[in-house]
Amino acid sequence: MSDTTPIQHFIRTIIDADLASGKQHGVATRFPPEPNGYLHIGHAKSICLNFGLAQDYQGVCNLRFDDTNPEKEADEYALAIQEDVHWLGFQWSGPVRWASDYFQQLYDYAEELIRQGKAFVCDLTLEAMREYRGTLTEKGRNSPYRERTVDDNLDLFRRMKAGEFPDGSKTLRAKIDMASPNFNLRDPVIYRIKRAHHIRTGDVWCIYPMYDYTHCISDALERITHSLCTLEFEDHRPLYDWVLDQLPVPSHPQQIEFSRLELHYTVTSKRKLLQLVSQGHVAGWDDPRMPTLHGMRRRGYTPEGIREFARRIGISKSENIVDMAVLESAIRDDLEAKAPRVMAVIKPLKVVLTNYQDGVTGSRSAGFHPQHPEFGGREVSISREIWIEQDDFSEDPPTGWQRLKPGGEARLRYSYVVKCDEAVKDADGKVVELRCSIDHDTLGQNPVGRKVKGVIHWVSASHALAAEIRLYDRLFTDPEPDGHKDRDFIEFLNPNSLTVVHGWVEPALKDAAPEAHYQFERSGYFCADRIDQRPGERLVFNRTVTLRDTWNKGHG
């Protein structure tokens, strides 16, 4: 699998033209998350785009936190975001940047707008401001405070900064055009009073700049060439350009919008993800069912697989609704080549090999990967009692059944052909044990005079290690859980999104390191849990993805 071949898209075309014409002499991008939650798969698309373009064009990509909303922001989120960017395989240029690094410059530029007569202090309440703003069919009305003098506005703005006025009592607004068909240009608020402790500046400031004002100036100060954002910011672009056109900033970046990622069977709204966490529907931001990068990492998704997914879905302005199967396929393709293959029994059924003979019944060695002999191998030990999957035996099998049945034969993977002679049942009639006989002439060779097609996996009861196995499935049963206006997305939670079973794994997994990946033959790809796995002491494996896409068949 290759994630090194860039796929041409419209943003690359723009960059190529800018470089060819001499409009730009290099590429500088940025990834600007707000530290108010954990990153999710939609952010991965943006990370791969911004950092990927910088890499491909030998440019730079800054990591800049948009920390202008102090009430919702936390160091925990900022640290997690940095960890995720590194985990995905990227490194930002220079130090981590913060919008708060520019608070003084942003304030000075706001005074400059006031001096130019292009910003004013407004006393309207939020409700009144909404009323004055107008509608889609009605023009807005000028604030009664719009014609304050420059001196009055400077005085009031400085007093706002000094903390003389209550929260929410005044705002600083850009003076643009209340008749504009674009609501973003109807004298938008660029500063508000908010006494909130800030994670970096503490209580130094009691006024904070708005995102639309902050972002474009931060881009300009960092000499970003191409400011890439999702399509919901398309209507904000005229404001982005207006602010920069009024001020003596060192550069004027170009804002370019692309479609955001919408992934079926999940939600990516930070508010809804926070609700899942706070209401206990999941075990935290890193729950392996969550679409967060922390969650996907814990589940066993690989950075290479996620980057390949981002490459496959591409970049465009058209709607980008992607089925979960596309992501799972990219992960599967990556793990296919790198995950050692071992045997594990997830739902055990005991089998007694009645003619097992010490010193006669032999074991075989097996490689960890058929295409990668360098992965090495291990001895696949056998004993009188073994475990097989419950699903590999049927008393009343369908036509074409190739696994065990009464009187039927199957091959034990890397071992003998065995015949089921008896099924032992409990008082309720449930099969609890099989008694099978070994054909001792079939170790490493086919039986004489008959064909045995079925091959099943197994582990030796004497050698296998107990393991907690967490079978993860999709978090929601509906492809668009938040797409129903009259229903709460919580209603569509999949009650079977997590099944915890206690199974058995080969002894080769005794020292499996946290985050080590394996293919459990015939079952799927699994990952040693990065939190709960304690090598040699407690084994916990998360199902990353099944061997093939079974969702559409089983849940159609």
Catalytic-labelled residue, pool 12, 141, 223, 260: 260
Name the H helices within 303-347: 303-313, 324-338
Of 305, 226, 178, nearest in space to 50 by CA: 226
Active site residue 270: yes
556: CB partners within 8 A, 6+ apart = none
Yes or no: domain 270-338+467-554 corresponds to CATH 2.40.240.10 = yes
Same fold, 10-258 and 352-458: no
- Tens of each residue's pLDDT in the chain, 556 residues: 444 677 899 999 999 999 999 999 999 999 999 999 999 999 999 999 999 999 999 999 999 999 999 999 999 999 999 999 999 999 999 999 999 999 999 999 999 999 999 999 999 999 999 999 999 999 999 999 999 999 999 999 999 999 999 999 999 999 999 999 999 999 999 999 999 999 999 999 999 999 999 999 999 999 999 999 999 999 999 999 999 999 999 999 999 999 999 999 999 999 999 999 999 999 999 999 999 999 999 999 999 999 999 999 999 999 889 999 999 999 999 999 999 999 999 999 999 999 999 989 999 999 999 999 999 999 999 999 999 999 999 999 999 999 999 999 999 999 999 999 999 999 999 999 999 999 999 998 999 999 999 999 999 999 999 999 999 999 999 999 999 999 999 999 999 999 999 999 999 999 999 999 999 999 999 999 999 999 989 999 999 999 987 655 544 3
**CA dihedral for 278, 283, 289, 294, sign (positive or negative):** positive
Domains of the chain, residue spans: 10-258, 270-338+467-554, 352-458
Catalytic-labelled residue, pool 30, 34, 148, 311: 34
User: How many C-beta atoms lie closer than 10 Å to residue 278's C-beta?
Assistant: 8
User: How many C-beta atoms lie closer than 10 Å to residue 362's C-beta?
Assistant: 13
Task: Name the one residue in this structure whose structure tokens are 């960017």.
Answer: 85
Name the H helices within 146-210: 150-162
Name the H helices within 480-556: 551-554
Q: What backbone phi and psi angles, to 5 degrees, belong to 48? A: -65, -35
The upper half-sphere exposure of residue 521, i.e. CA atoms within 13 Å in the direction of its Cβ, equals: 20
CATH architecture of 10-258: 3-Layer(aba) Sandwich (3.40)
Catalytic-labelled residue, pool 64, 173, 175, 270: 270
Task: Kindly report the length of the chain.
Answer: 556
pLDDT in tens, 12-67: 999 999 999 999 999 999 999 999 999 999 999 999 999 999 999 999 999 999 99
Active site residue 374: no
Q: What is the DSSP letter of 40?
A: B
Burial of 172 (0-12, 13-18, 19+ CB in 10 A): buried
Active site residue 553: no
* b/e code 1-38 from CB counts within 10 Å (16+ = b): eebeeeeeeebeeebeebbeeeebeebbbbbbbbbbbb
The CATH fold assigned to 352-458 is Ribosomal Protein L25; Chain P (2.40.240)
